[in-house]
């Protein structure tokens, strides 16, 4: 557990000092919102369209961060360090997922207000508590799957090419559930029915892939 905290702390400190991932992700998200504004030619969004724009943007922005997740480990020998240290290898997975969750939350802290400013008329703040819950559950799923796939992709020749095509199909259930849960929250008369069901789906996804990543991660870390 101490190893987990140490690795995650290291990652967050590095990110805090270099500001490599999160600002780029946030900038990407904001720019994508602008692109959507012109692509859809809409000033205001609501309901399923709003949910779709939001989640597609967040997912693509997350990919940027996930792609960078293990770069330092690879370039500066961090993997060897982890392997030589007398710690469980899965602590790397947990730490990386944790760091990624922090990145994603930071991203959403910027992206969600901007999204509301650009596209949502009013009633957004009433939806925020539930939206935060949806986002958090989706973040956990994205982070676990992202950390696992990033550790696979980093060892291949086609690294940053391979990650999105592996990640996107695997995260389709997250997008389905998150967008479906967000849709009623962003509808003009705020509607909270059916949100619970999708939260359950997200939680199930997080649980299954969390356990799965935990089970297979050891095998990704040999040699």
Partner 1 sequence: MVLITTALALVFFYAPNDADQGFVQKIFYVHVPLAIVALIGFIVAGVLGAMHLRTRDDTWDARSYVAIHMSVIFGVGVLATGAIWARASWGKWWVWDEPTLVSFLIIFLLYVTYYPLRYSIDDPQRRARYASVFAITAGAFVPINFIAVRMAESLVHPRVLNQTAGDMPGEMRLTFLVALAGMALLYVTLVKLELTSKNARRQLRRLRRMLEEEHSGGAAPPPIATVPAKPN
Residue ranges binding partner 1 (CB under 8 A) = 148, 152, 155-158, 161-162, 165-166, 168-170, 172-173, 176-177, 180, 197, 201, 204-205, 208-209, 212-213, 216, 219-220, 222-223
CB of 43 to partner 1, least distance (A): 27
CB of 3 to partner 1, least distance (A): 22
CB of 139 to partner 1, least distance (A): 17
Task: Report residue 221: phi and psi, to 5°.
Answer: -115, 10
Q: How far apart are CA 191 and CA 182, in angstroms?
A: 10
For partner 1, the closer of residues 17 and 157 by Cβ is 157
Asked if residues 195 and 130 have their Cβ atoms less than 8 Å apart, the reply is yes
For partner 1, the closer of residues 74 and 197 by Cβ is 197
CB of 165 to partner 1, least distance (A): 5
For partner 1, the closer of residues 129 and 169 by Cβ is 169
Asked if residues 89 and 82 have their Cβ atoms less than 8 Å apart, the reply is yes
| Residue owning tokens 């992202």 | 146
Q: How far apart are CA 223 and CA 213, in angstroms?
A: 18
Task: Report residue 148: phi and psi, to 5°.
Answer: -65, -50
What's CA 25's distance to the chain center, in Å?
10
For residue 21, give the 3-state DSSP assignment: coil
CA dihedral (204, 209, 212, 218) positive or negative: negative
For partner 1, the closer of residues 126 and 212 by Cβ is 212
For partner 1, the closer of residues 114 and 162 by Cβ is 162
CB of 142 to partner 1, least distance (A): 14
Q: How far apart are CA 145 and CA 212, in angstroms?
A: 9
């Amino acid at each position: 557990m101490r190893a987990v905290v140490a690795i995650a702390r290291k990652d967050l400190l590095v990110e805090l000092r270099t500001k490599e991932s999160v600002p780029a992700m946030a900038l990407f998200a904001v720019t994508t919102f602008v692109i959507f504004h012109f692509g859809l030619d809409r000033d205001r969004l609501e309901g399923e369209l709003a949910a779709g724009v939001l989640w597609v943007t967040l997912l693509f922005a997350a990919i940027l961060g996930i792609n960078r997740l293990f770069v330092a480990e690879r370039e500066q020998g961090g993997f060897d360090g982890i392997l030589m240290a007398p710690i469980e290898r899965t602590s790397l997975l947990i730490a990386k997922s944790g760091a990624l969750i922090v990145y994603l939350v930071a991203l959403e802290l910027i992206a969600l207000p901007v999204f509301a400013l650009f596209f949502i008329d009013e009633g957004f703040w009433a939806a925020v508590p539930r939206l935060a819950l949806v986002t958090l559950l989706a973040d956990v799923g994205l982070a676990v799957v992202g950390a696992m796939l990033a550790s696979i992709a980093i060892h291949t020749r086609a690294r940053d090419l391979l990650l999105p095509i592996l990640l996107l199909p695997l995260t389709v259930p997250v997008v389905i559930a998150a967008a479906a849960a967000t849709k009623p929250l962003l509808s003009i008369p705020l509607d909270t029915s059916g949100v619970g069901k999708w939260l359950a789906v997200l939680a199930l996804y997080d649980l299954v892939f969390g356990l799965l990543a935990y089970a297979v991660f050891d095998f990704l870390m040999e040699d």
